[in-house]
Amino acid sequence: MNIKRYLLPIFLVAFAVVLSFGVGFQLSQSLSHPVTELPEEFNALGEVWQSLERYYVNKDALDAEELSEGAIRGLLKALDDPHTSYLDAETYEMEWSAYEGSFEGVGAVITMKDGELTVVSPIAGGPAEEQGVRAGDKVLEIDGEPTSGMNLTEAVLKIRGPQGTEVTLLILHQGETTPVEIEIIREEVKLDSIYLEMLPEGIAHIQITHFSERTHEELVAVLNDAIDNGAEGIILDLRNNPGGYLHVAVDVASEFLDGGTVVYQRDSEGRLEESPATPGGLATDLPLVLLVNEWSASGSEVLAGALQDRGRATLVGNVTYGKGSINIIRELSGGSALYVTTARWLTPDGNLIEGVGLTPDFEVEITDEDVLNGRDPQLEFAIEYIKSQL
């Protein structure tokens, strides 16, 4: 039995469609644990199986593997914790393949929000974005099959596929009432995480799409490039960022903080563990604005919470997602796996992220009209704010 340490898998198998979001992890040592004796309350479960095996009229329907998975899913559903989940062997293998740095699919982070399959963000330059898929879109059908009866895993498996094949999605754009069919040719999607645009008056607009193993290294290169090009202020764009590796989020924060606390972890016993910043960052003095929205989650909330609480950055945008739990992934027999919530995150000031999110210093909305007209009021506000600090 192996245990891998995760940073908030908010979108679980969504990585298989792009990058889960919200999935990030740190590998820990492999541990071997015998199965402990079950509480007597579980005796009835074994008795049910024995009774079915002996008396059930349709013996062909008694698929032990399928019934076992059903029992596991029912057990986890009773916890009412969306971040503690079961992955069958196929899905688990599929998810890990995405960590190779690229995958074949449509290039969009998806999640289940209020029972609807929802796009968190399309990957920049990916086939979904090129065909007009946007953050907040509802996916109503996949190749003509309604998504209303699917779980996230099933949807991921139907959307993902070999490069060069086609999938048709019935999409309801945010703010619209008439869905549209979008045909997408699956491609190999690269998982770059940092994008830099130098704006007028020495403002560096740096977008972080997720926190992968390469993100900190990419950020250092981008910061050096921006500074060499005369950057006087930075807009760090974390909108639609679903999270990633915790240690990378801490490393990224270290480039903007001169030491001190980034985040606390509180476990089931109430114990606090601190994750400090490493002194000597490249951009500890430049004026800094963070852009966040309702799809900024997990690692992006850790980063934003640290920079806000420490007075290092001004947050602009919308209240964030509110995913502040820590999970491990434990490999089970037969190749399946279990995500288990083990702790909660607290910002440096002791504020809980889970279920609450972060409130920006300046809440700025983007309307449907803004989207249709190609305007970005949040970025515009951030630019003017940076200018006022120069």
Show which residues are catalytic.
298, 309, 323
Nearest to 20 by CA among 81, 94, 124: 94
Separation CA 200–CA 154 (nearest Å): 46
Instruction: Identify whether the C-beta of residue 340 lies closer than 8 Å to the C-beta of residue 275.
Output: no
Instruction: Specify burial of residue 235 (Cβ count, 10 A radius: 0-12, 13-18, 19+).
Output: buried
Separation CA 289–CA 46 (nearest Å): 57
Separation CA 54–CA 347 (nearest Å): 55
Specify the long-range contacts of residues 161-169, CB closer than 8 Å, at least 24 apart: 161/104, 161/105, 161/186, 162/104, 162/186, 163/104, 163/187, 163/188, 167/106, 167/142, 167/143, 168/141, 168/142, 168/143, 168/144, 169/106, 169/133, 169/139, 169/141, 169/142
Which residues does residue 239 pair with via DSSP β-bridges, in sequence order? none
Separation CA 328–CA 4 (nearest Å): 6
Nearest to 312 by CA among 257, 361, 367, 370: 257
Separation CA 250–CA 288 (nearest Å): 17
Q: At what angle do helices 246-254 and 299-309 cross, to 10 degrees?
A: 30
Q: How many CB atoms are closer than 10 A to CB 101?
A: 11
